[in-house]
Structure 1
Amino acid sequence: AITLTLAPHSAIIKGNIADMAPPSEDCIAPLLVQVLKASGWRQEGNGSDALGSGHPAPETNSSGKEWTAARRLPQALIIGVKKGGTRALLEFLRLHPDIRALGSEPHFFDRHYARGLDWYRSMMPKALDGQIVMEKTPRYFVTVDTPARVHAMSQDVKLIVVVRDPVTRAISDYTQIISKTPGIPSFESLAFKNRTTGQIDSLWSPLWIGLYAQHMERWLAWFPRNQIHLVSGERLISDPAGELGKVQDFLGLQRIVTDKHFYFNKTKGFPCLKKPEGSSKPHCLGKTKGRTHVSIDPEVIRKLRDFYKPHNQRFYQLAGQNFGWH
């Protein structure tokens, strides 16, 4: 294992660490190498590249603390919502040196719960003591059994939900579905039980996910409101640094990810990360993000807005804020 000793004079690290590229999925070594160069940490031990998987080492002398990386259960979860901006939020948060996030969606609490917490822990990236481990699986927010299961893992876990105008979210959801399953019926035909009477099919997944109040109430039965942070998907696009600042505050972290990390990509229509150190080009989300939405009959959109209005008002009450969806 690599053992690192932090000298007292380098206990506070600022400046260019904020500009470091996010570390790879399962190896924290690249981050540590940059930290070593930036802050004067010194390496001890056998010089191996492999990091230990045991518990963080205790303080061994008065000159500093020794640390080793370990896999831990997450202290924070991005639990939703699908097509709200969860991938963007995760990628932006991974710029922070005190966040270690799993890139893929493990779907532990909704699909793989029977595999147990040891399996779930084994999926997590290695992290140093003091770093926050997190993952994102948007399906958690709408899965009935998930709040109780998350609570059984940790009563103190911090929960993040990215929400977006439910009508726009539903159209985005359908756009993704039709890209994978061409030939499915039109949005209009799936959105209504009866197009003539205008009866909405609220159980159709793209519409059901947008019933945020219904899902939020289930989470509030298990967790206090102050443990759930809501991110506006619209503001994540228009003001990514502002939304990221509030998330960092919620997680108890220094505001290291700031507006200097972003630029707006006019072609895609959302923010991208500026060129990270050691990379030749800026980092934008994949080609599946920023798709042009399918065209929907304006009358259908009007009826959907009417349908969601009372649900949105209820959600605003639960959230303690008005997201301005009209």
Structure 2
Amino acid sequence: MGCSGCRVRLNFGKALSRVSVFFTMVLIFTYFFYCLTGVCDSAPRTLHGQQQLLHTDYDALDDLGRVFHKLRAPPRLFRAASASASAPSNANRTSSAHAEQVGADESDAIPVSNTFGTKRFPQAIIIGVKKGGTRALLEFLRIHPDVRAVGAEPHFFDRFYDKGLEWYRDLMPRTLDGQITMEKTPSYFVTKEAPGRVCTMNRQTKLIVVVRDPVTRAVSDYTQTLSKNPGLPSFQSLALKNSSAGPIDTAWSAVRIGLYAKHLENWLQFFPLSHFLFVSGERLVSDPAGEMGRVQDFLGLKRVVSDKHFYFNQTKGFPCLKKPEGSSRPRCLGKSKGRPHPLIPTEVLHRLRDFYRPFNQRFYQMSGQDFGWD
């Protein structure tokens, strides 16, 4: 009787052990199944993973790179090739991929992961000029669904060329077939080595130069530097050698940048004039839609950016983008744009205007455009 009871308890214990093993295996199988189907992706990222994400999002380095991100078109899963003959095709590109489009306006397009798409060298570069309106132009262009651009200035062809072309390409956003990759670094226009380096990368690169009255541009340049260094000498003491009695000092960068004809001569040694588009900084303010139409035509893009996107901000003195659907307010460039200029003696401005006049006339002839600065 005693032995019989022991056998019953032993059999019961074995059965219980088997049930426990069975349920344990079920739990393990369920866990692996959920992980393999992606449920585990919702778990919080590690600190290391977050740091990698910050390094990947190149726009986070730019003080204005996210100003208009809600106006950009959302990524798509499939799209037709653009009519632009300059954009090379790649059958492996199946979706858009950069974090710059996160938070874009919703539409019926299918969003995709930012690990898809292809990083390419830019087919078009805004190469100049500083304080001419390059930031506004870039942000206006980024509204276009077929334009993908780096927000910050890479400065590859003037400062970081030794890092190599692969380093440069890795900075670019991912694109679909037909989308144009762009960047802007205004100092390229005045850097002697830049034209040859860009030509080495791609001699078919399209080049956009935003120009502005060189006298006004010099004052704007000085104003920006003064905001960062309040102890800066007066404008006239920097613009003129030997105080007010001397000649114009072309060694000062604020003056030298405005010699557009001399800088263009350097670029024309490597690229034909047909590869350039000269955008008027003044018309970009007075008629942004008109200038954007020219830019879109030059890039072989459909005219998407138009009058409906702009309104003029009287306080800042330049156009802003109308608020996107679902946004509480319009989008304007940051507080660093539209600063009031200091008062410059009229005599100094007249001397600068006389100095620039022959260079302006030469630039009009070279570019085929009269910008009306005289």
TM-score, with length taken from structure 2: 0.73
Could you tell me how far apart the structure 2 residues matched to 1:255 and 1:296 are?
Answer: 40
Partner of residue 202 from structure 1, selected from 238, 245, 250: 250
For 2:192, what is the secondary structure of its paired residue?
coil
Partner AA of 2:113 in structure 1: A
Partner of residue 260 from structure 1, selected from 308, 312, 321: 308
**Structure 1 counterpart of 2:322:** 274
Higher strand content, 1 or 2: 1
Residues 32-82 of structure 1: CA deviation (Å, up to 9, x unaligned): x845x15xx6x8xxxxx53344xxxxxxxxxxxxxxx11111100000000
For 1:271, what is the secondary structure of its paired residue?
strand
Higher helix content, 1 or 2: 2
For 2:99, what is the secondary structure of its paired residue?
coil
Could you tell me how far apart the structure 2 residues matched to 1:197 and 1:267 are?
Answer: 37
Is residue 159 of structure 1 aligned with residue 232 of structure 2? no
Deviation at 1:203, TM superposition (A): 1.3
For 1:237, what is the secondary structure of its paired residue?
helix
Mark the CA change 1:30 to 1:267 in structure 2 (over 3 Å): closer, same or farther. closer
TM-score, with length taken from structure 1: 0.83
**Structure 2 counterpart of 1:135:** 183
Partner AA of 2:114 in structure 1: L
Could you tell me how far apart the structure 2 residues matched to 1:28 and 1:263 are?
Answer: 23
Partner of residue 267 from structure 2, selected from 192, 206, 219: 219
Contact persistence 1:26–1:126 (CA under 8 A)? no
**Structure 1 counterpart of 2:114:** 51
**Structure 2 counterpart of 1:56:** none
Is residue 78 of structure 1 aligned with residue 122 of structure 2? no
For 1:210, what is the secondary structure of its paired residue?
coil
For 2:277, what is the secondary structure of its paired residue?
strand
Could you tell me how far apart the structure 2 residues matched to 1:277 and 1:291 are?
Answer: 29
Q: What is the 5 A alignment of 1:1-326?
A: 4-5=77-78, 26-28=99-101, 34=106, 37=108, 50-53=113-116, 69-326=117-374
**Structure 2 counterpart of 1:46:** none
Could you tell me how far apart the structure 2 residues matched to 1:184 and 1:92 are?
Answer: 33
Residues 263-297 of structure 1: CA deviation (Å, up to 9, x unaligned): 00000000000001332110000000000001100
Residues 125-148 of structure 1: CA deviation (Å, up to 9, x unaligned): 111111000000000000000000
Contact persistence 1:27–1:126 (CA under 8 A)? no
Residues 4-43 of structure 1: CA deviation (Å, up to 9, x unaligned): 356x9xx99xxxxxxxxxx996354656x845x15xx6x8
Deviation at 1:195, TM superposition (A): 3.2
Contact persistence 1:198–1:303 (CA under 8 A)? no
Residues 99-137 of structure 1: CA deviation (Å, up to 9, x unaligned): 001110010000000111111111111111110000000
Could you tell me how far apart the structure 2 residues matched to 1:212 and 1:194 are?
Answer: 25
Contact persistence 2:97–2:174 (CA under 8 A)? no
Could you tell me how far apart the structure 2 residues matched to 1:169 and 1:213 are?
Answer: 15
Partner AA of 2:122 in structure 1: P
Aligned CA-pair RMSD: 2.2
For 2:284, what is the secondary structure of its paired residue?
helix
Contact persistence 1:110–1:146 (CA under 8 A)? yes
Mark the CA change 1:236 to 1:24 in structure 2 (over 3 Å): closer, same or farther. farther
For 2:151, what is the secondary structure of its paired residue?
coil
Mark the CA change 1:118 to 1:273 in structure 2 (over 3 Å): closer, same or farther. same
For 1:193, what is the secondary structure of its paired residue?
coil
Partner AA of 1:277 in structure 2: E
Mark the CA change 1:258 to 1:199 in structure 2 (over 3 Å): closer, same or farther. same
Residues 244-277 of structure 1: CA deviation (Å, up to 9, x unaligned): 0000000000000001000000000000000013
For 1:199, what is the secondary structure of its paired residue?
coil
Q: Which of structures 1 and 2 has the bigger CA Rg?
A: 2
Contact persistence 1:24–1:30 (CA under 8 A)? no
Deviation at 1:194, TM superposition (A): 2.4
Could you tell me how far apart the structure 2 residues matched to 1:136 and 1:164 are?
Answer: 17
Mark the CA change 1:30 to 1:131 in structure 2 (over 3 Å): closer, same or farther. farther
Could you tell me how far apart the structure 1 residues matched to 2:315 and 2:114 are?
Answer: 41
Could you tell me how far apart the structure 2 residues matched to 1:204 and 1:155 are?
Answer: 31
Instruction: Give me the identity figure in percent.
Output: 63
Contact persistence 1:28–1:126 (CA under 8 A)? no
Partner AA of 2:99 in structure 1: D
